[in-house]
Amino acid sequence: MRGSIKLFNVFGISIKIHFTFLLLPIIFGHFYGLRGVFLILFVFCCVTFHELCHSLQAKHFGVKVEQIVLLPIGGVAAMKSIPEKPKEEFKISIAGPLFNVTFALVLFLPAYFLLGPENLFHPGIETWPKTFAYAFWINPILAVFNLLPAFPMDGGRILRSFLADRMEYGKATRIAVGFGHTFAVLFGFVGLISSPPNIILIIIAFFIFIAASQEGMQVDLRLTLRRFSVKDVLPEQFVSVSPSTPLSEVLALTMHSHQEDFPVVENGKIKGLLTRSDIILTIHQFGVQKLVKDVMRTDFPVVQVKDPLIKAHRLMEEWQLKAIPVMRREEVVGIVSLEDISRVYLLMSTSKR
């Protein structure tokens, strides 16, 4: 995520903090001094452990987790995918709130005897005992809030896992997305009618609505692509280039064809991949006299013509590519692009209406 600062790695997961999160200790420190800074740092720790529990459970099921980013409104674990097996999604989703509940239970008796019931049950930031009490209640609040069935929050994912165990996965997702939209509208309404308006609640509502919509679309895309193979969308004609081709010729090819990415072939063997972004960057820096071999990527994925289309889409996402070479055993037979995949998805989406 842009604007994120890496703090450290744990269990192979990069822990990052978004620069906007740094505003919180500054604001709370200004109004409440050291007690405000302590409270924000404690929230930071609780959210980090919450997301780590999600991530470690996900890694247990083979899901790749690259990073955790802490934002002012919470944490986001960047998982490559969410298992579609209901039991696995349930275990991943419940892991975070379960940590918060367990941590609160462990701290309850020490907090009760050290702080006293008058402070524990009347938290605030006026004194240090009340601040510690406030910190204690952070974990129960995080657990309860995250368990609301507002997809794609933890409770929404738990709801989907429950529904997916009893109906088709796509239908379960659509119902969960509907719950997410409903809660987003409710949060936004409450935030707007509050006096003064609750800006944080309005921002949370916005993010829930957008995230629910995006995840619903991603699931619909995956379910659609599973019905097709690469050969179903592979263009009949394609252009390849050789390593010795000047970029000036490649630029001319892009202007006279719809193809923007090119497999690099020499003696019938694929040697590299030349992407549109690499062409533009090189031309801006060095002009058009560079050769393809100076610019092409030598580390890139390929798919076989009979592979599922969803595999091609997944590889493009992982490698951040807009096109990928297609092989028939060792022979290059074409190149499939995100545009080709989008065309199929839009066509199938239109036919459903």
Same structural domain, 243 and 206: no
Structural domain count, the chain: 3
How many CB atoms sit inside 10 A of residue 80's CB? Answer: 13
Active site residue 318: no
pLDDT value, residue 1? 60
Is there a contact between 226 and 310 (Cβ–Cβ < 8 Å)? yes
One domain, residues 238 and 120: no
Alpha carbon distance 207, 75 (integer Å): 12
pLDDT of residue 353: 54
Bridge partners (DSSP) of residue 304 are 327
Same domain, 110 and 44: yes
CA distances from 151 to 167, 189, 190, 222, 251 (A): 17, 18, 18, 18, 45
Answer yes or no: do 162 and 95 share one domain.
no
Q: Are 79 and 52 in contact (CB under 8 A)?
A: no
What is the model's pLDDT at position 113? 95
Domain end, chosen from 169, 197, 225, is at 225
Rounded Cα–Cα distance for residues 233 and 242 (Å): 25
pLDDT of residue 252: 85
* For the chain, percent of residues with pLDDT exceeding 70: 98
3-state SS of 251-298? HHHHHCCCCCCEEEEECCEEEEEECHHHHHHHHHHHCCCCEHHHHCEC
Strands 65-71 and 13-18, by their bridges, are parallel
User: What Rg, from alpha-carbon coordinates, does the chain have?
Assistant: 25
In this prediction, residue 352 carries a pLDDT of 61
Amino acid code (one letter) for 140: P
CATH of the domain at 236: 3.10.580.10
Domain termination site, one of 86, 112, 147: 147
Residue 152: cis peptide before it, omega within 30 degrees of 0: yes
- Quote the CA–CA distance of 189 and 239 in Å, as a whole number: 54
Please indicate, yes or no, whether residues 193 and 236 belong to a single structural domain of this protein.
no
Other residues' Cβ atoms within 10 Å of the Cβ of residue 107: 15
Q: Which of 51, 88, 89, 215 is catalytic?
A: 51
The pairing of strands 262-266 and 269-274 is antiparallel
Instruction: Decide: helix, strand or coil at residue 50.
Output: helix
Residues of the chain with pLDDT under 70: 1-2, 350-353
Q: Does 307 share its domain with 192?
A: no
Determine the length of the chain.
353
137 and 254 share one domain? no
Same domain, 32 and 79: yes
On whether both 25 and 131 belong to a single domain, the answer is yes
Task: Determine whether 223 is exposed, middle or buried from the number of CB atoms within 10 Å of its CB (0-12, 13-18, 19+).
Answer: middle
Q: How far is CA 87 from CA 153, 160, 229, in A?
A: 17, 11, 28
Quick check: 324 and 302 in contact, CB under 8 A? yes
Q: Are residues 215 and 292 in the same domain?
A: no
What does the alpha-carbon distance between residue 258 and residue 149 come to, in Å, rounded to a whole number?
A: 45
Domain of residue 61, residue span = 1-147
The Cα 306–Cα 232 span in angstroms is 9
The structure's pTM equals 0.82
